[in-house]
Amino acid sequence: MVVSSYKFRLYPTKTQESRLDDAMIPKDKVYSKAAQMVLWQFYNNLKTLSSLSKKDKLIGKLRFKPKSRYNSINYNQSGFKLLPDNIIKLSKIGKIKCVIHRKILGKIKEIHVKKEITGVWHAIAICENECKKSCSLLRKKIIAIDVGINNYCYDSDGHVIKHPQILKNSEEKLKRSQRKLSRKVKGSSNRLKEKLRLAKIHQKIKYQRNDFLHKISRHYVDNYDTIFVEELKIQNMVKNHHLAKSISDSSWNSFFQKLEYKAANAGILFAKVAPHGTSQSCSNCGRMVKKTLAIRTHHCPYCGLVIDRDYNASLNIKQRGIDSLPTGCREVTPLERTSLAVIQADHGHVISMNQETNHFSDE
């Protein structure tokens, strides 16, 4: 069984908004299943804290949350119904207009109604269905992806996807709004208005980032039957204070998650390989060529290969991925290191010998 979620925009009336706000705190007029879910979540949190304490993990003290911090309500198993003409019916709330922009597959097990800090409402349908597509043993179109900061990713076919730098492009707006917010008197209506403006900027950044990640993940899933990436320890990487903001803006973990679930739904293979030495090892001769992050070109003194360091890393990721496959699944010829690319003498960049028409930028 496969569990998937579908997120839709809700357009409740003022009366319905008031009822939804009240439903986030268990009261007499709240649907019983929704109230049970709040209590279940509370006791589940206590159980989790207890288990962490027994493992000698550092945990904080319990504290009461204000009503403003409750922003969701769960309808588990019942209390909801999807109606024609983009209408969803919630118990004790009524019929709410929504935008169902794609077909829901499977049986709906839960409906989560969530209110964003900007006042926007969403319904998240949690569905369960059978996995009809199985992963094929044929491995004819293999791609390996090396993610980075200068370029968002460089794949083993020589395609380059430029980094959108979404946070950087909105940084001035964020700073301006944050300065204005800091000058407002706490509890004043002007502070609440500025807080809303700041939240909308953050929300736009979130939407832009998700849109970008969905598009490139969909491109790779639609065009390849095997995808390899590095198994990065992102929590350790963000400890570098010089690169932490850029790494966080890149959302590599979210990108890998989208690749993984889309690949599972499409019946193709997605796997992670060990990242150690992929940038330092020569993809042609296998010798180690040490270089700092500032050196962006791989120049091997042993075999003379000169290519972009990220392209070199993607070729190493691809070979490691192929080596990790069972022998019976290797329907492709192992990576031929010297014949995959030609080197342009004027730029030192690489062009794939079998490169297809590409909608992304090439170097």
Collapse the DSSP code of 47 into the 3-class scheme (helix H, G, I; strand E, B; otherwise coil) and give the result.
helix
**Strand arrangement of the beta sheet that strand 151-155 belongs to:** 269-273, 226-230, 142-147, 151-155, 159-162, 361-362
As a whole number of angstroms, the distance between CA 22 and CA 67 comes to 9
Determine whether 21 is an active site residue. Answer: no
Determine whether 17 is an active site residue. Answer: no
As a whole number of angstroms, the distance between CA 289 and CA 282 comes to 7
Exactly one of 146, 157, 194, 225 is catalytic; name it.
146
Exactly one of 155, 157, 194, 310 is catalytic; name it.
310
As a whole number of angstroms, the distance between CA 218 and CA 263 comes to 9
As a whole number of angstroms, the distance between CA 230 and CA 37 comes to 38
Exactly one of 110, 157, 225, 230 is catalytic; name it.
230
Structure tokens at 79: 């209390």
Q: Do 143 and 229 meet the contact criterion of CB atoms below 8 Å apart? A: no
Q: Among 164, 154, 167, 168, which residue's Cα sits nearest to residue 213?
A: 164
Q: Provide the residue type at 242 as one letter.
A: H
Plot region of 348 (φ>0 → left; ψ -120 to 50 → alpha; else → beta) = left
Q: Do 282 and 252 meet the contact criterion of CB atoms below 8 Å apart? A: no
Host H or E run for residue 114: strand 107-115
Q: Are strands 142-147 and 87-90 parallel, antiparallel or unpaired?
A: unpaired
Q: Do 231 and 149 meet the contact criterion of CB atoms below 8 Å apart? A: no
| CA atoms 43, 47, 48, 52: torsion sign | positive
Structure tokens at 254: 């979210």
Which are the catalytic amino acids?
146, 230, 310
